[in-house]
Structure 1
Amino acid sequence: MKSRGARAWLTLCVIAAASSVHSQELFKHEKVHPKLGLVLEGGGALGLAHIGVITWMEEQ
């Protein structure tokens, strides 16, 4: 019985190690800048008042 438990433990460790290596390959992505959405209210007049802030945010 002792060797049966040891085999089960070894099998579990091998499966866990293999799955972690596979999952690391899946998440290799290039660094992408997050997209930002800006919502303004109040119509065109207030939208024109915020043009300075919008252009500053685009530069950053």
Structure 2
Amino acid sequence: MCDRLKKLGYVTQIWEHSHGQLGRLFMVELAPFDNKSKALKAKAEVEKQEHLEAKLITRN
């Protein structure tokens, strides 16, 4: 998935998380965006391209 997203022009980072009930989970983070509008546009594109539900997370 990261390779496909990189081909679309995104900078990606993958995080592994060990969940007590679900086991190993992998989270793919896209590079920070200039504004929320750009992030929402990328979210919609990723959901359509990858056929999954993406989450928008903001950092302070």
Whether TM-score is above 0.5 comes out as no
TM-score range, shorter chain: under 0.3
Q: Which has the higher strand share?
A: 2
Task: Please give the TM-score of this superposition, normalised by the length of structure 2.
Answer: 0.27
Larger radius of gyration: 1
Select the structure with the greater relative contact order (CA < 8 A; seq sep ≥ 6). Answer: 2
Q: Which has the higher helix share?
A: 1
